[in-house]
Amino acid sequence: MVRIYYYDNDTTTDPRAPHVLPGHADLTERDLATTGVLYWRVPIAADGRAHLTEIDRISAERGYKNRDQICVAPGRLPEYETKIKSFFDEHLHEDEEIRYILGGSGFFDVRDDKDRWVRVAVQAGDLLVLPAGIYHRFTTDEKNYIEAMRLFKDEPKWTPLSRSIPATDKVPSRAEYLATIAPAS
Ligand code: KMT
Ligand code: NI
């Protein structure tokens, strides 16, 4: 099962450690849903392509027309240490970020409605959709290995826009995202 929990905000140690916030119960998939993040468990079929049939179905439903594959591991991803640092820089995209984990494990951190970091510990078979406009970041865990399918709509606008740049907060997808998670008044 996917593990979801508050991040401890300890900036002095390796982000690849678990960083579980002490004294807090784990969060549920429902808690995660309040951030607008979509999550499906699509177990990798031991023999054959059964999981890909389900990925194709979800892709058709949501308009994900393109896909590729990425392996994040030393020696597998050119400039691994540089890339991993840029993945971990808090950012948003103007389109969804869709990742289906094919092997290994890692952490997606997303900001909740109170700007707390929520850590999603993903592994093979987890499909995660981060909505456009949500602040997030990614790191491998201490095993330093993850393989994922990246899915895209027709014209992906998924350049990372760093939160450290003030203009990022002003992009339309940020306001649109905040409107979707605002409590009904
Ligand atoms: C991203 O955009 O953060 C990534 O593609 C990370 C690797 S996918 C597990
Ligand atoms: Ni991203």
Domain count along the chain? 1
Does residue 179 lie in a domain region? no
What pLDDT, on a 0 to 100 scale, did the predictor assign at position 47?
79
User: Mean of the per-residue pLDDT values for the chain?
Assistant: 95
Q: What is the CATH number of the domain that holds 100?
A: 2.60.120.10
| 92-127 residue pLDDT tens | 999 999 999 999 999 999 999 999 999 999 999 999
What pLDDT, on a 0 to 100 scale, did the predictor assign at position 183?
74
Mean pLDDT of 74-80: 94
ipTM reported for the complex, 2 dp: 0.95
Does residue 180 lie in a domain region? no
Please give the Cα distance from 60 to 43 (Å, whole number).
19
Does residue 184 lie in a domain region? no
| 34-73 residue pLDDT tens | 999 999 999 999 877 889 999 999 999 999 999 999 999 9
Count Cβ atoms within 10 A of the Cβ of residue 172 and give its class: 0-12 exposed, 13-18 middle, 19 or more buried.
exposed
Closest Cα to residue 139, out of 97, 93, 84, 76?
Answer: 84
Q: Is the pTM of this model over 0.80?
A: yes
Does residue 12 lie in a domain region? yes
**Residue 6 C-alpha to ligand 1 middle, in angstroms?**
20
**Residue 83 C-alpha to ligand 1 middle, in angstroms?**
9
Range of the domain at 74: 3-173
By alpha-carbon position, which residue is closest to atom 8 of ligand 1?
148
Does residue 164 lie in a domain region? yes
- Tokens standing for residue 97: 């970020």
Q: What are phi and psi of 5, to 5 degrees?
A: -160, 165
Does residue 178 lie in a domain region? no
- Tokens standing for residue 73: 């591991």
**Residue 1's CB: how many other CB atoms inside 10 A?**
9
| Closest listed ligand to the CA of 87 | 1
Does residue 137 lie in a domain region? yes
What pLDDT, on a 0 to 100 scale, did the predictor assign at position 1?
81
Does residue 42 lie in a domain region? yes
Please give the Cα distance from 106 to 142 (Å, whole number).
8
| Burial state string for 14-44 with b = 16 or more CB within 10 A and e = fewer than 16 | ebbeebeeeeeeebeeebbeebbbbeeebee
Q: What stretches of 64-145 adopt beta strand conformation (E)?
A: 66-72, 91-92, 97-111, 117-123, 126-130, 136-140
* 52 membership: H or E segment, kind and range: helix 50-62
**Residue 51 C-alpha to ligand 2 middle, in angstroms?**
24
Which one of 2, 37, 67, 72 would you pick to mutate in the ligand 1 pocket, going by the greatest count of ligand atoms within 8 A of its CB? Answer: 72
Closest Cα to residue 45, out of 53, 56, 37?
Answer: 53
